[in-house]
Chains A and B, each alone.
Chain A
Amino acid sequence: METGVKFTDISLGRSKERRRDDPNTFEYTYKAEITNIHRLTPKESLYRIQILDPEERIRFTFSPGQFVMLELPGIGEAPFSISSPPSRHGDVELCIRSVGNLTNFLSKVGRGARVGIRGPFGTSFPTWEMHGQNVLLVAGGLGLAPLRTPIAYVQENRSRFGDADIVYGTKDPSQLLFTYQYDMWRADDINLRLIVEKGGPSWDGPVGMITTALDEILAAKPPSYFQKTFAIVCGPPVMFKFVCTMLNEREVPMQKMFVSLERRMHCGMGKCCRCNVGSTYTCLKGPVFDYWTVMNLKEAI
């Protein structure tokens, strides 16, 4: 007769594919390389990051709006929205602003640096549901980074959308991101409206709040537009609150407006609880929420 407690080794049950229900996936990091760095402004750079293993790179799929945890061994780990089109798989671009420990360190590394990526995590903008409809993309500041993925999706699938408008505002002209892409967007019949809060000698565009630019765009639309429009709004909470209220006044349903929430995150997998809004996990139920849900979250805005 056998007595005694046997040791159970859970790592023996490791699955070969990375499955969410396999505990051995939890701390798995794709090893990746920074293949290029594009300085956009003094504070923001676009990092092109490629998963090294070719098979893993292809198998890495995500939807617009999802994020990854970027890890620099010994420095830290933090969440960033994927800013490149899903068609590029695990050859992702992250647009990162230097604000703290990890992001400042990142601004000093060069091409070829080896980093880790976990994910993709979180919810996404339901681009497929938007087919046949108009899309209105509103970004404030760094909010353009997560919007770049749906923009690319619209470009790749232009025939499936009606009007496509981008309204983008920053504090001043020097903070405008991805300026080199504006002509390409316009060439793909995407209407781009820029606005800055404070102009300058080199700026001959409109000056004011983002809501001013949005007002102008909306004023030119026929009433039928609002029934057939999806909106994605990315930026600071005060901004999306104003924007979503404006849209709702024009009868765009709250369930057809999407925002991306930013909270502190230490895991991305519903474990550390740092990202909770009320009792909702931003990393699992978000970061993309429809505005109706956000309105009903305690502590959201």
Chain B
Amino acid sequence: MKKRARRHRREEGHGRTDMIFRTLGKAELPKLFGVMAAGGKIVAPVEAGRDRENRPVYVFRETARFEEAALSYTTTKLPAKRYFLPYREDLATFRIEGDDWQKLVDYNVDRPRIFFGLHPCDINALNRLDKVLLNGVYPMPYYVAKRKNMFIVGIDCLPQPYCFCRSMGADTALHGFDMFLTDLGDDYFVEILSDTAYNFLRCVRTSEPGEDDHARYMKAVSRKNDKFIAHVDTTDLTKILDMEFQSEVWKQWGDRCLACGTCANVCPTCYCYGVEETVSVDLGSARKTKTLYSCNLLDFAEVAGGHNFRPERHVRLKYRYYHKHRGFVEAYEEPLCVGCGRCGESCLAGITVPEVIASVRGEGA
């Protein structure tokens, strides 16, 4: 009985099972990639160009070539969000026939995708989104359908100066992936969570990790831990956000914010949206389209007749923090932020999460 229950759990792919560990020689990785690429579409971090300071700019995109996958990438400008929460997608289309109509619903996914090289923060972003969009009341099929068809190979990383995933409890991924690779020098330490991953690994040479591999793994982990620079003090943060709701510091940040919505756009956990319907020119069909939105945009909370519940920038900016670091924590015991630092890196006004929260805590802006 017990055995059956366990097998069932394992089949779910993203569920929690006991971990299986292997080591994989680095020379075997291209082969593994090849085996996967033969069976499906792979999305991987790829260097797309250089920025003004000649640093590489990374993006997630489809590739069938291992050499293109930049596995020691820092952070992509944009998260892999467009594969599970596209910026724009149709929720439904309508066929209009005279006075009558038919509604056609499609979840806009027709094949599984392999994500090769997601960092823990981005895996945790998915796990947090799952809580609202997959496991909550009214699961959202457009997300569920895509999420259920994501095969994820995670990979470890070295914290950048803007990374504060550790403060957000998102520096390690415990579940939500199929396989996770940690660099041990000549080998990867592999955590295996799904039978699909297990079967892929049977196509390449792996070995049972020994004591020395465990030691190398722990060294790699502590090397990562020593690298963190940015931190957020989350002690009592939900209460502090409540107490400081009227704080003047929000106004100061509001004065700087351009209300451009970039922060939500680059955020792997921002999912707010708007819906619009349009009719075709010949009036024969219509579509209902969902577009990701940002709560920093002026009309986010505006209602018919022109009343706006959040007319001021600082009120909208505050709301974004309030949702992520208070409301979500209250509901799910962790913030709707994984500390990837993308919003701060992209913000033209230089507004970063660690600075905003420190200032609300009275620790100087």
Contacts and interface: CB of A to CB of B under 8 A. Distances in A.
Contact of A114 (B99, B137, B202): B99
Interface in B277-294: 277-279, 286-288, 293
Prevailing SS type, chain A contact patch: loop
A20 B144 contact: no
B301 A266 contact: no
Interface in B77-99: 91-92, 94, 96, 99
Given A5-B39, A274-B301, A10 B144 contact: yes
A5 B114 contact: yes
A270 B273 contact: no
Contact of B323 (A23, A114, A269, A276): A276
Contact of B272 (A2, A6, A100, A274): A274
B139 A23 contact: yes
Contacts of A73: 94, 96, 101, 103, 277, 286, 288
Chain A, interface residues (CB within 8 Å), range: 35 or more
Contacts of A29: 103
A235 interface: no
Contacts of B35: 3
Given A27-B91, A112-B99, A279 B301 contact: no
Contacts of A76: 275-277
Contact of B136 (A9, A116, A270): A270
Given A5-B196, A6-B112, A11 B107 contact: yes
B60 interface: no
Contact of B112 (A2, A7, A31, A299): A7
22 contacts: A1-B202, A3-B35, A3-B39, A4-B40, A5-B114, A8-B145, A10-B107, A27-B105, A71-B277, A71-B288, A73-B103, A73-B288, A74-B94, A74-B278, A75-B279, A76-B275, A77-B288, A263-B309, A264-B303, A269-B140, A273-B273, A276-B323
Given A5-B40, A77-B275, A298-B245, 18 more contacts: A3-B200, A7-B111, A7-B149, A20-B137, A21-B139, A26-B138, A27-B92, A27-B103, A31-B103, A73-B103, A73-B288, A74-B278, A103-B304, A116-B103, A264-B302, A271-B138, A271-B271, A299-B319
